[in-house]
Chains A and B, each alone.
Chain A
Amino acid sequence: MDRRKSIKSIVLGSVATGLVANGCKPGQENPETGVKKPENVAWRTPVENEIINEIQGEEFFNAHERETLTVLCDLILPPSDQFKGASDAKVVDFIEFMVKDHIPFQTDFRGGLMWLDHKCNTEFGLEFKSCNENQQKSILDTIAFYDPDVIAEERPFEVNFFATVRDLTMTGFYTSKIGIEELGYKGNMPNVWNGVPEDVLKQHGVAYEEEWLAKCIDQSKRGVIAEWDDEGNLLT
């Protein structure tokens, strides 16, 4: 048992099973997937880098599973003239990583993709990825909605499986560069906060009080070194 798995078995309280297979050596690029071991980064600790490298050196999904998942994720967030799709944001690569990083996902993903193929074979005599879009959607329509008043443990497996794929697709997409652009998030860059814009206050029916604003920083003086009188009144 390697170091990472021994660590995980501590976290999860059980011994990891051998679902992670088909390991290629660290540093090698897999010709099918293009997944390559990353360089160590200084913002991670050595043990964190070691784990990332081990994960990147392994493959979880086989070619068929990757193709099936790609079709599925693109049905969840489809590419169009207006929007980029899940595969544009390499969502399947992200899911591949998460499934290896979080072992409890593994059986559900394997089994869930098998369930999709079985269902499509039964209904249409074709695997999921080979069905046409209408056929694929007709299957998804039966598993994509859930009753939030029923706890997850009591919902059908296939409904929970699809919810997990949807969750990871949403996170994978909206934490990617193109997803953040679509969302319009304006942060994560240096700026000077000077309050909520007037139109936003109006939209949500709130306002600043003069008394409160009077206490707040005058941003034109942010670069002036603070000095106080003996009572704690700011002079500058």
Chain B
Amino acid sequence: MQIIENATLYDAIIVGSGAGGGMATKVLADAGLKVAVVEAGPFFDPANPEQKTQLRWPWESERRGASTQFRPFGDFDAAYGGWEIEGEPYTHKDGTKFDWFRSHMLGGRTNHWGRISLRFGPKDFKHKDIDGYGENWPISYEDIKPYYDRLDKLIGVFGTNERLPNDPDGFFLPPPKPRLHELFYIKGARKSNIPVYPSRMSMLTKKINKERGVCFYCGQCSRACSVYADFSSGSCLIFPAQKNGGQVDLFVNCMVREVTVDEEGRATGVSYINKEDRKEYKVKAKVVVLGASACSTARILLNSKSTQHPNGLGNSSDHVGKYLHDSTGADRAAFIPDLMNRKPSYNEDGVGGMHVYSPWWGDNSKLDFPRGYHLEIWGGMGMPNYGFGFNVNEFNKFFGTKVGGYGDMLRSDVKKYWGAVVGVSSRGESIARKDNYCEIDPSTVDEWGIPVLRFHYKWSDLELNQARHAHNTFEEILTNMGGEMLGDKPGKDMDYGLQTPGRIIHEVGTTRMGDDAKTSVTNKFQQLHEVDNVFIVDAGPFVSQADKNCTWTIMALSWRASEYIVDQLKKQNL
């Protein structure tokens, strides 16, 4: 097949349009560079009234919002994709498990994410110094702080300055008031001396500029906001870069296969498959910026084999794909009798997600696991969706009355119990390990002819111990709230309820940064050690995932790396 070459020479090609790629697009385009954004999925704009799912009623979906293979978070979720994508498989090694969530569309997973926007703290960059596990980052909190500060102001995040040692203050918008079930949580957690604070999430409770709207509290951030009152990469970074007069060419439905190189082994651009005509194309640039997601970027590098780079691009250290790690996750819910018989006299949708949370409070030196977790809270009188009214009066068992039946009694039961379930989830830090990795599976390609990833991932006792602790915490807090625990507490045989790696969708670490080219893939500016005009702006360069969420840090680091690119181009070093 003849490869079709685009004659334009771009200053930079950005692969992927999620948090990292979007930020690079904004910074590079604002600096006057000519950029091409190559995105594997279609164009998406939540402001398009036909494309948006926000404020649709359940009956607008024939399956009333039930999940499908194509939208595991339900029919109205704004992420196209999921853990399985038809025609784009991945495989596993040695019977291990890793579930890989991909969303191919403009903005990627930022269209539906939870918007929990937590800065990493000073300890998170130097945790090896504290407990001996993993590796320190080559940068410190002071290096990234200025970018977090600017990010808060550019994107907008609500929260509160609490002067906590490892959960830094920022430039916050004021948070929304807690909802009813959150007031119960506050009481329950405090009874166990677990602190609770307003959550930190990137929705605009207050105006930050003239372009974006203010939150109107529909609770549907997972459907992406039509007035751009929450952070999505398209609406907050890429469209503003275009409107600002930036030279941004969007290549959508284009799946990057590899980075192309010249005789010296420097990058010349990328080759990609246009999914619409199924033909292979090449586009050229002075700099290639990879933001395809930690695993997709590793895949592109590993597939970029040449005589100059026989082990894949930037991989003579054999570290590409290694140190893959996801956040840990566990969850439990309870029925809270004091939340029965709620008056649905008011709209409590609020922002999408929680109004309060608990950052990690423990002292790991006294525990059998080295890293912490934060707690997320869910509940309330949410919009009915598929599954609403299932097992409608099962909670009768807590009162010794009959379960089941038919007729008008079901109508009173559904109202009696609506909004009386509260859940708590832990999201914690795992230890990055070299033997948790992704690599190329030499025997499988996807429908585009591109060799696919094969995963090898195992949790260790450290993560299991943490999950056991989290489940004890859930039980304590929910019981403090007067709750009746739902389901059985998972024991050792159930890995203490620890979710399969990949399920929390915080996978990071596959191209970690470091000062030593033998044990890392990029330098501290996220530039490949071996190829100076290739940068990585997704979560691949993370040395460790804190007990936070990764998106805010992806963007701060992408901003920092992108400014470095602009500077190096100006100095003609690239």
Interface contact B390-A205, CB-CB below 8 Å: no
CA distance A228 to B173 in the complex (A): 9
- Once A170-B389, A171-B389, A187-B383 are accepted as A-B contacts, the answer to whether A215 and B414 lie under 8 Å apart by CB is no
Cβ of A21 under 8 Å from chain B = no
CA distance A124 to B179 in the complex (A): 54
Interface contact A215-B198, CB-CB below 8 Å: yes
- Once A189-B347, A232-B161, A232-B169 are accepted as A-B contacts, the answer to whether A145 and B384 lie under 8 Å apart by CB is no
Pair count A-B, CB < 8 A: 259
Cβ of A64 under 8 Å from chain B = no
Interface contact A222-B69, CB-CB below 8 Å: no
Could you say which of B1-9, B107-115, B211-219, B552-560 contacts chain A?
B211-219
B160-185 residues at the A interface, CB under 8 angstroms: 160-161, 169-180, 183-184
Distance from B133 Cβ to chain A, minimum over Cβ atoms (Å): 32
**Which of A43, A179, A203, A233 has the most B CB atoms < 10 Å from its CB?**
A43
Interface contact A175-B184, CB-CB below 8 Å: no
| Chain B residues, CB < 8 A from A189 | 55, 218, 347
| Chain A residues, CB < 8 A from B392 | 166-167, 170
CA distance A53 to B88 in the complex (A): 24
| Chain A residues, CB < 8 A from B50 | 41-43
Cβ of A7 under 8 Å from chain B = yes
B409-424 residues at the A interface, CB under 8 angstroms: 410-411, 414-415, 418
Cβ of A63 under 8 Å from chain B = no
Cβ of A45 under 8 Å from chain B = yes
CA distance A190 to B53 in the complex (A): 14
Interface contact B206-A175, CB-CB below 8 Å: no
B26-74 residues at the A interface, CB under 8 angstroms: 42, 48, 50-53, 55-59, 62-66, 68-71
Could you say which of B311-319, B337-345, B472-480 contacts chain A?
B337-345
Interface contact B62-A97, CB-CB below 8 Å: yes
CA distance A200 to B340 in the complex (A): 12
Interface contact B65-A175, CB-CB below 8 Å: yes
Picked from B68, B214, B388, the residue with its CB within 8 Å of the CB of A171 is B388
Interface contact B414-A94, CB-CB below 8 Å: no
| Chain A residues, CB < 8 A from B178 | 195-196, 208, 212
Interface size counted on chain A using CB atoms at 8 A:
87
Distance from B191 Cβ to chain A, minimum over Cβ atoms (Å): 13
Picked from B173, B407, B415, the residue with its CB within 8 Å of the CB of A183 is B415
Distance from A190 Cβ to chain B, minimum over Cβ atoms (Å): 4
A17-51 residues at the B interface, CB under 8 angstroms: 38, 41-43, 45, 47-48, 51
Interface contact A193-B403, CB-CB below 8 Å: no
- Once A175-B384, A187-B348 are accepted as A-B contacts, the answer to whether A204 and B339 lie under 8 Å apart by CB is yes
CA distance A56 to B63 in the complex (A): 12
Cβ of A78 under 8 Å from chain B = yes
| Chain A residues, CB < 8 A from B383 | 180, 185, 187-188
Interface contact A196-B344, CB-CB below 8 Å: no
Cβ of B94 under 8 Å from chain A = no
- Once A188-B218, A232-B172, A234-B173 are accepted as A-B contacts, the answer to whether A224 and B206 lie under 8 Å apart by CB is yes
CA distance A16 to B183 in the complex (A): 48
Cβ of A15 under 8 Å from chain B = no
Distance from A36 Cβ to chain B, minimum over Cβ atoms (Å): 12
CA distance A10 to B170 in the complex (A): 47
Among residues of A, the one whose C-beta sits closest to the C-beta of B205 is A217
Interface contact A193-B390, CB-CB below 8 Å: no
CA distance A167 to B390 in the complex (A): 5
Distance from B85 Cβ to chain A, minimum over Cβ atoms (Å): 10
Picked from B71, B173, B346, B384, the residue with its CB within 8 Å of the CB of A174 is B384
| Chain B residues, CB < 8 A from A184 | 344-345
CA distance A148 to B398 in the complex (A): 10
Among residues of B, the one whose C-beta sits closest to the C-beta of A97 is B62
Among residues of B, the one whose C-beta sits closest to the C-beta of A221 is B206
Distance from A208 Cβ to chain B, minimum over Cβ atoms (Å): 7
B196-224 residues at the A interface, CB under 8 angstroms: 198, 205-210, 214, 216-220
CA distance A77 to B405 in the complex (A): 11
Over the window 209-227 of chain A, the binary record of Cβ atoms lying under 8 Å from chain B Cβ atoms (1 yes, 0 no) is 0001101111001111110
| Chain B residues, CB < 8 A from A222 | 205-207, 214
**Which of B63, B158, B208 has the most A CB atoms < 10 Å from its CB?**
B63
Cβ of B147 under 8 Å from chain A = no
Interface contact A213-B214, CB-CB below 8 Å: no
Distance from A162 Cβ to chain B, minimum over Cβ atoms (Å): 8
Cβ of B120 under 8 Å from chain A = no
| Chain B residues, CB < 8 A from A127 | none
CA distance A209 to B217 in the complex (A): 22
Interface contact B216-A190, CB-CB below 8 Å: yes
Cβ of A194 under 8 Å from chain B = yes
Cβ of B307 under 8 Å from chain A = no
| Chain A residues, CB < 8 A from B69 | 7, 10-11
Cβ of A101 under 8 Å from chain B = yes
| Chain B residues, CB < 8 A from A201 | 180, 183
Distance from A68 Cβ to chain B, minimum over Cβ atoms (Å): 15
Interface contact A206-B55, CB-CB below 8 Å: no
- Once A75-B407, A170-B414, A216-B176 are accepted as A-B contacts, the answer to whether A197 and B218 lie under 8 Å apart by CB is no
Interface contact B59-A175, CB-CB below 8 Å: yes
**Which of B65, B351, B390, B394 has the most A CB atoms < 10 Å from its CB?**
B390
CA distance A186 to B161 in the complex (A): 33
| Chain B residues, CB < 8 A from A14 | none
A-B contact sample (12 more), CB < 8 A, given A43-B51, A98-B66: A42-B51, A146-B404, A166-B410, A167-B392, A173-B389, A174-B384, A183-B418, A186-B346, A187-B382, A189-B218, A207-B183, A215-B198
Top 8 nearest A-B pairs (CB, nearest first) are A170-B389, A42-B50, A190-B216, A175-B58, A145-B404, A217-B174, A195-B177, A187-B349
Interface residues of B (CB under 8 A from A): 42, 48, 50-53, 55-59, 62-66, 68-71, 76, 80, 84, 86, 153, 156, 158, 160-161, 169-180, 183-184, 186-187, 198, 205-210, 214, 216-220, 338-339, 342-351, 381-392, 394, 397, 402-408, 410-411, 414-415, 418
27 A-B pairs with C-beta separation under 8 A: A42-B51, A144-B405, A170-B390, A170-B410, A171-B64, A171-B386, A172-B64, A175-B384, A175-B388, A176-B59, A180-B57, A183-B344, A185-B384, A187-B218, A187-B383, A191-B347, A193-B349, A212-B186, A215-B175, A215-B198, A217-B173, A217-B206, A222-B214, A224-B207, A225-B207, A226-B156, A226-B208
